[in-house]
Amino acid sequence: MKLYNTLSKQKEEFVPLEEGKVKMYVCGPTVYNFIHIGNARPMIVFDTVRRYFEYKGYDVNYVSNFTDVDDKIIKKANEEGVTSNEISKRYIAECKKDMDGMNIEPATKNPLATEEIGGMIDMIKTLIDKGYAYEKNGTVYYSTRKFKDYGKLSHKNLDDLRSGERSLLVSGEDEKEDPLDFVLWKPKKEGEPSWASPWSDGRPGWHIECSEMSKKYLGEQIDIHAGGEDLVFPHHENEIAQSEAANGVEFAKYWMHNAFLNIDNRKMSKSLGNFRTVREISEQYDLQVLRFFMLSAHYRSPLNFSADLMEASKNGLERIVNAADNLKFLSKNAANEKMTEEEVNIFAQTDVFVKDFERAMEDDFNTADAIAAVFDLVKFANSNTGSESSKEYLGKLFELLVKLTDVLGLIVDKKEDMLDEEIEKLIEERQAARKAKDFARADEIRDELLEKGIILKDTREGVQWKRA
Ligand code: AMP
Ligand code: ZN
């Protein structure tokens, strides 16, 4: 399996540190708002990478943090007159809902920066002891020039470097010994959340958070560290400097970075204000469509968000789901159980689609080509099945389709049956709507249930329901 390593600027063969295992860390969002679809790109991309490793039989330890202490969170908390903790808890919960809708497998661990401060303080102490960091008036800085490999990830020359745009500005910034030095610990300002440390009551810098959380949950050396390409410099470069100086071993073997999701050919970001939240998209589309859209391009190519591409993705996904539905329908009505000799031979031809799919994924996770292989299988299934097909044959085609789409995190086996409690919840909501004279909503719920085959009957005793 080959993947592109930002460190070497080449596609490299993947060799795990420990046989059969993959340890990966993906930088997660700063939680001060609903996530936007740009944030969703690394989530979907690296979840798919994980799923492919799992398909290949690897045991994947997948860690992705939430940055829950940050200037932007504090600002939002002040605007609303609530605590930072309330803001971050709220948006972590909302983010998890979105991730669920996008069918992101839950991480092995989602560490929170605020729960790992002790470990960060220990790491900073180690860096000071080893001569890689120094304190000035309560602020601790990393001595960038002391780390001889600085710049190896972003391929930047130390002397050409300027501090990155995301470097933390703190009071006393001018006390740095070198403009390239960055903050490991900073003293609190009035009204900010803070923790006691040997240097000051304060909080950690952003970069040290990931170095510590990765070490704690995955160990000093990991296989893959990933995130969006804006994180290469300074965030990941600084993480390397911290982790390798503190631990004395290579931090991550492979560094993977997704390209940006753009809108009108400009980067989508919270600061530019041109973003669309995942939640907004979910009002218009099933989030499976968003997932399909993201995977329809290679993760290292910029992707431009547009209504047309979303419609094309919706249609593409529908084609696959329809094929799966068709196989299920035929199977329900199939006359024969066992595969005929001829069917065995026909089914053997699907091997080529599996090979194409795997070849695409093993070439640096080319999901666009992998989707093309799924479409070939869909076409094949549509034209090589009919009312005379056996149950076993249809079942095998269906299973194969589910197996491949599952690697992409696309759900084609829709469980249509609603659970009783889901139905009852909707009925309750409908009653409440009627009480509030919101008849439009009440009718909408009735129609929604009808579409799922649930028939309501209003009686004097209350609402009765049955499945059609
Ligand atoms: P942030 O909350 O800004 O720290 O971002 C969380 C993750 O989303 C990081 O991996 C970013 O690189 C990534 N990200 C942010 N905006 C975009 C975008 N427009 N396209 C792709 N990835 C993005
Ligand atoms: Zn990070």
Q: Could you tell me if 315 and 340 are in contact, meaning their C-beta atoms sit under 8 angstroms apart?
A: no
pLDDT at 456: 86
- Say how many Å lie between the CA of residue 326 and the centre of ligand 2: 44
Point out the ligand nearest to the CA of residue 271.
1
* pLDDT score at 452: 78
Can you give the pLDDT at residue 165? 42
Ligand 1: which residue has its CA nearest to atom 6? Answer: 29
Q: How close is the Cα of 53 to the center of ligand 1, in Å?
A: 23
- CA of 113 from ligand 2 middle (Å) equals 10
Ligand sitting nearest the alpha carbon of 113: 2
Q: Which residues surround ligand 1 with Cβ inside 6 Å? A: 27, 29-30, 38-39, 41-42, 227-228, 230-231, 258, 260-261, 267-269
Whole-number pLDDT of residue 166: 42
Give whole-number Cα distances, 15 to 5, 248, 359, 389, 456, in Å: 12, 21, 17, 43, 58
Which ligand ends up closest to the CA of 214? 2
Rounded to the nearest angstrom, the distance between the alpha carbon of 318 and the centre of ligand 1 is 28
> In this predicted structure, what is the pLDDT of residue 273?
84
In this predicted structure, what is the pLDDT of residue 350? Answer: 98
Specify the pLDDT at position 163. Answer: 47
Parallel/antiparallel/unpaired status of strands 182-187 and 261-263: unpaired
Say if pTM beats, i.e. exceeds, 0.85. yes
Q: Which atom of ligand 1 is nearest to the CA of 28?
A: 6
- Counting ligand 1 atoms within 8 A of each CB, the residue from 44, 71, 230, 293 with the most, and so the one to mutate, is 230
Mutate to test the pocket of ligand 1, among 39, 63, 233 (most ligand atoms within 8 A of CB): 39
pLDDT at 30: 94
Q: For residue 23, what pLDDT is reported?
A: 98
pLDDT confidence of residue 415 = 64
pLDDT at 174: 63
**What are the 10-residue block averages of pLDDT along the chain, 468 residues in total?**
98 98 97 96 98 98 96 95 96 98 97 97 98 97 96 89 50 75 95 95 97 98 98 97 98 98 86 91 96 98 95 97 95 92 98 98 98 98 97 98 98 76 88 92 88 81 79
Place of tokens 């995942």: 278
- Ligand 1 geometric centre to CA of 85 (Å): 22
Ligand approaching nearest to the C-alpha of 304: 1
Ligand 1 atom showing the smallest separation from residue 268 Cα: 19
How much is the pLDDT for 160? 72
Q: Please report the atom of ligand 1 found closest to the CA of residue 231.
A: 12
